[in-house]
Amino acid sequence: MGILVDGVWQEDNLIKNKEDGKFIRPDSAFRDWITTDGSPGPEGQKASPAEKGRYHLYVSLACPWAHRTLITRVLKGLEDMISVSVVHWHMGAQSWNFEDAPGVVADPVMNAQFLHQIYTLAKPGMSGKVTVPVLFDKKERTIINNESSEIIRIFNEAFDDLGALPGHYYPAPLRGEIDEINERIYHTLNNGVYKCGFATTQEAYEEAYVPLFETLDFLEEELSQSDYLVGNQLTEADIRLFPTLIRFDSVYYSHFKCNKKRIQDYPNLHRFVERFMSNQKIAATVNFHHIKHHYYGSHKQINPSGIVPHGPDVMY
């Protein structure tokens, strides 16, 4: 793993912690937008117009943040409008790379070997982290956005005039509720598993562990009354929850020490995952080989041997 410093790749520990051992997730660097006609984004962001074939998405099949963009892409029917490259599951000294392997899709923009080359193409002299997902503008040869929560909102709205599938996953009447539950799930669960797994003190680990399972208990109760989290309809909140749940039993439970209960032990959460996996397009975005080999093989500070466990048996 490593980081860009003045446009030069330097090997470094990308996992940053405070002095008290708490994991810190850095902010994303690219925050422009795509809109139907190129008018400014929802908060006045610089925007480019939606065009078929102009944009390219870089993802890892292991990464839950990238996974939510793949799910939104297939739900909106954007497969023919936005092309995709998939990095190798192993994050080594050069971080995300395009080494040939099952499931890897090479870079068509500059035939890059490493994702950090796409970052320096977009911003020569850049300093900062290199992450997935990345939404790239092939016409302007620059990165539009690398914040997953914003990319899914771009996909949700910008391409409807170009024939995207109907369906709005951030409907105006439900936005307050969606934002509220997103906030809790992000801090305590989506990012909470990383706070547990990357903690370097017992106190930091326990501080993250307790609210994580309080949120899972809360979600189990919420899903006892409806199939989805908000308005009993599929929304962005569900799309953001699923990638964490699908990785939980095979990775977070053991690798990140989130071992109080499995998702299999929550009947309603388990059914929620099965409901997603019953959609063949969504199921095709799930790759347990990439998921397990990335986490167990890349995080040498947690799993020095790099041994990837065979289990669990239930893989949906």
Q: Where are the domains of the chain?
A: 3-162, 172-279
Q: Assign residue 167 a region: left if phi > 0, alpha if psi is -120 to 50, beta otherwise?
A: left
In this predicted structure, what is the pLDDT of residue 28? 79
Q: Which of 186, 194, 228, 316 is catalytic?
A: 194
Q: Which of 55, 58, 63, 253 is catalytic?
A: 63
In this predicted structure, what is the pLDDT of residue 15? 64
Average pLDDT per 10 consecutive residues for the chain, totaling 316 residues = 92 67 78 97 97 98 98 98 98 96 96 98 95 98 98 98 96 98 98 97 97 98 97 97 98 98 98 97 98 97 95 79
Where does 172-279 sit in CATH, by number?
1.20.1050.10
Tell the residue number behind the tokens 């971080």, with chain if given.
Answer: 95
129 known ligand binder: yes
- Given a contact cutoff of 8 angstroms between Cβ atoms, the answer to whether 58 and 118 are in contact is yes
- Reply yes or no on whether 196 is catalytic: no
- Reply yes or no on whether 119 is catalytic: no
In this predicted structure, what is the pLDDT of residue 147? 97
Where does 3-162 sit in CATH, by number?
3.40.30.10
28 known ligand binder: no
Reported as type and span, the H/E element at residue 47 is: strand 47-49
In this predicted structure, what is the pLDDT of residue 12? 74
132 known ligand binder: yes
131 known ligand binder: yes
Dihedral angle, C-alpha 88, 91, 96, 99, nearest 10 °: -40
